[in-house]
């Protein structure tokens, strides 16, 4: 579950970066922040689903 927490923190920082860069109208940086948000957001969701679905330590595979 620690990995999901780390991924979640990176996702939140990327969301903050997206918002900040849109306010600055810096679309190049927004693109990278958005890609980071998309990738780490996906990893966060899938890690949480996997952790909850397998009992927490991957024993269900």
Task: Report DSSP letters for 2-52, one per residue.
Answer: HHHHHHHHHHHHHHHHHHHHHHHT-HHHHHHHHHHHHHHHHHHHHHHHHHH
| pLDDT value for 31 | 95
Q: Where are the domains of the chain?
A: 2-53
- Chain segment 14-56, per-residue pLDDT in tens: 999 999 999 999 999 999 999 999 999 999 999 888 888 776 6
Q: Are 7 and 44 a contacting pair, CB within 8 Å? A: yes
| pLDDT value for 57 | 62
| pLDDT value for 23 | 94
């Amino acid at each position: 579950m620690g990995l999901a927490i780390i991924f979640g923190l990176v996702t939140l920082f990327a969301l903050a970066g997206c918002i900040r860069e849109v306010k600055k109208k810096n679309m190049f940086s927004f693109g990278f922040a958005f890609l980071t948000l998309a990738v780490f957001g996906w990893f966060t969701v899938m890690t949480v689903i996997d952790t909850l679905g397998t009992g927490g330590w991957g024993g269900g595979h």
